[in-house]
Structure 1
Amino acid sequence: MGVSNRITATLNFIALLCAIPIMSAGIWLASKPDNECIRSFRWPVFILGLLMLFVSLAGFIGAYFNKQGLLALYLFCMAALIILLLVLLIFAFTVTRPGGSYAVPGRGYREYRLDGFSKWLRDYVRDSSNWQNIRNCLADSDTCPKLTQQYMSADQFFFAYISPLQAGCCKPPTVCGYSYVNPTLWINPVNTGADPDCLLWNNDQNLLCYNCNSCRAGLLGNLRKEWRRVNVILIVAVVILIFVYLVACSAFKNAQTEELFRRYKQGWV
């Protein structure tokens, strides 16, 4: 195995190892309640990590066993994979840039406004068919029921950190003025606030605030937080892949030159 192929094989072995944290991040992302309920958001990161694993493995085998045809295919697939990762990164950063959160006086958690998120995400959760499926999935999850097991008193709950999804779906908005009984059971005020969500709150544990805009906003708040974490891993992966790709291109050219020189010395050309 020539020096160029040895370098390519080593770098692709490193890239192969880097695919593991990407796949792990994809599995972590897919396991979250919000992503479980939005199927189109569940697996793209895991699939890209799996593709990175196969492409890097092909590059390693092609370089180690000096399979020039496999190396050429690897370079093409690697370029496509880098483009896919860049597209996903740009899209994720664009749609998750606005936050939509705001502080609530006397509360440890934040609440969320739907209008604070990107138009693409707002339109997705405002679509009635999309939200009906998401709503049913959230109602069947343990996202809200587990709050009643964690917090026994109002003080505990008000100063706790709860997820954006729980803040939006499991309780009425603070502005509505409902009185606390437990995290998912609240007493109606005499006059509800001006927020339309105040009239949508229901103590039925299958309804709660799942039809509220605050629930949609909380779901997007969860998505934003999780995808921002995954984006860090994707950025590192893109940098590594671009470096590996550039070195592999150079090594591929050098390997072809070495092969021509070897044949020339043997009198084949």
Structure 2
Amino acid sequence: MRTSNHLIGVLNFLTFLLSIPILGGGIWLSSRANNTDCLKFLQWPLIIIGVSIMVVSLAGFAGACYRNTFLLRLYLVVMFLIIAVLIGFIIFAYVVTDKGSGRRVMNRGYLDYYLDDYSGWLEERVKSDDYWGKISSCIRDSKVCSKMGRNYNGFPESVDMFVARKLTPVQSGCCKPPTDCGYVYQNETFWTLGAGLMANNPDCNKWSNDQQQLCYSCDSCKAGVLGSLKKSWRKVSMINIVVMIILVIVYIIAYAAYRNNRRMDNDEPYGEARMTKSQPSAFHL
């Protein structure tokens, strides 16, 4: 009995540790939402899941230490629900960030982003006027475009240096005009109209050298936000998948240890068939 309780206590401590990367991923997404992605609602479910795992693990740890059957049952039931929610959240994150990616441009180190490449629930939310007003204001306040400038030996970088850069999706979509518009580079956020303007891209007419405007109203900027969000969520989702697999394994072991405790409470020898007893124990948690 003592060995089983120790095992459950150790497993609960392990689940407590596993909640840290989930909570850390949510906090990292929150910082990204404040500085880059600017979508401030998707990280909260992850933070809530991480905190819930912490609290439930502490309850299970206390139940194992003090042999509190109620706390152990509560741990098993709630942890099962949390694992189910985490699996659903991972699936949701992959579904909403499944479509869309940057397009390679000839002789460019960066990618260009087009809203037509994206679709689904997340794209509709980003595209809506209510959300985009807040998102574009967040991008402007983060000064992500003004931070693009580079100097070499006291001189601004040349066009050859700029086009070889690996820009982030937001930098590429919001801080410069789309490449196919044919604008001529002056500096990172100042471009003049060239002879190759393509009227079939509506973003060409939305570009402004006003540093408070730039391409914040462009569809390419919205696509850049989606591209940045996809990269962020895929990184966090990989961690969540690993943690979820470990959580499932730990839960199965904890459940087996709890069942062993119940078997001992009922004076049922290990390995004895239930139906051989005069009063077999009921099948319940």
Q: How far 1:112 moved relative to its partner?
A: 1.4
SS at match of 1:56: helix
Query: Could you tell me which of 29, 33, 36 is aligned with 1:34?
Result: 36
CA distance, structure 2, for counterparts of residue 118 and residue 49 of structure 1: 29
CA distance, structure 2, for counterparts of residue 21 and residue 247 of structure 1: 21
Contact 1:106–1:158 under 8 Å retained in 2:
yes
- Whichever structure has more helix as a proportion of its residues is 1
> How many residues are aligned here?
261
Identity %: 43
Matched residue, 2:22: 22
State yes or no: 1:157 paired with 2:159.
no
SS at match of 1:39: coil
CA distance, structure 2, for counterparts of residue 69 and residue 118 of structure 1: 47
SS at match of 2:16: helix
Matched residue, 2:242: 236
- For residues 80-131 of structure 1, give each alpha carbon's deviation from its aligned partner in whole angstroms, at most 9, with x where no partner exists: 1101101110001111122332100111011112122232122111111111
Cα 1:119–1:72 change in 2 (3 A) is same
Bigger Rg, which one: 2
SS at match of 1:186: strand
Amino acid paired to 2:29 = L
Q: How far 1:238 moved relative to its partner?
A: 0.9
Matched residue, 1:87: 88
- For residues 160-183 of structure 1, give each alpha carbon's deviation from its aligned partner in whole angstroms, at most 9, with x where no partner exists: 111011100000000000011111
Q: How far 1:191 moved relative to its partner?
A: 5.2
- For residues 118-167 of structure 1, give each alpha carbon's deviation from its aligned partner in whole angstroms, at most 9, with x where no partner exists: 32122111111111111111111121110014672222211111101110
Amino acid paired to 1:233 = I
Matched residue, 1:267: none
State yes or no: 1:144 paired with 2:145.
yes
Instruction: Report the TM-score when normalising by structure 1.
Output: 0.92
Write out the 4+ residue segments of structure 1 that deviate beyond 4 Å after TM superposition.
Answer: none
CA distance, structure 2, for counterparts of residue 12 and residue 109 of structure 1: 46
Gap runs ≥5 in structure 1: 263-269
Matched residue, 1:266: none
Amino acid paired to 1:175 = D
Matched residue, 1:221: 227
SS at match of 2:74: helix
SS at match of 1:98: coil
Matched residue, 1:255: 261
Matched residue, 1:104: 105
Matched residue, 2:44: 43
Contact 1:192–1:199 under 8 Å retained in 2:
no
SS at match of 2:112: strand
Q: How far 1:34 moved relative to its partner?
A: 3.5
Contact 2:36–2:142 under 8 Å retained in 1:
no
Instruction: Report the TM-score when normalising by structure 2.
Output: 0.87
The equivalences for 1:52-131 within 5 A come to 52-131=53-132
Gap runs ≥5 in structure 2: 269-285
SS at match of 2:267: helix
Amino acid paired to 1:178 = Y
Contact 1:96–1:118 under 8 Å retained in 2:
no
SS at match of 1:43: helix
CA distance, structure 1, for counterparts of residue 119 and residue 2 of structure 2: 51
- For residues 30-53 of structure 1, give each alpha carbon's deviation from its aligned partner in whole angstroms, at most 9, with x where no partner exists: 111234x21212332222212111
CA distance, structure 2, for counterparts of residue 42 and residue 111 of structure 1: 26
**Aligned-CA RMSD value:** 1.6
SS at match of 2:36: helix
Matched residue, 2:135: 134
- For residues 51-86 of structure 1, give each alpha carbon's deviation from its aligned partner in whole angstroms, at most 9, with x where no partner exists: 111121211111122111001111111011101101
Q: How far 1:260 moved relative to its partner?
A: 2.7
Contact 1:178–1:189 under 8 Å retained in 2:
yes
CA distance, structure 1, for counterparts of residue 57 and residue 100 of structure 2: 36
CA distance, structure 2, for counterparts of residue 34 and residue 42 of structure 1: 13
Amino acid paired to 1:187 = T
Matched residue, 2:7: 7
- For residues 200-230 of structure 1, give each alpha carbon's deviation from its aligned partner in whole angstroms, at most 9, with x where no partner exists: 0001111110100000000000000010000
CA distance, structure 2, for counterparts of residue 85 and residue 103 of structure 1: 34
Amino acid paired to 2:103 = Y
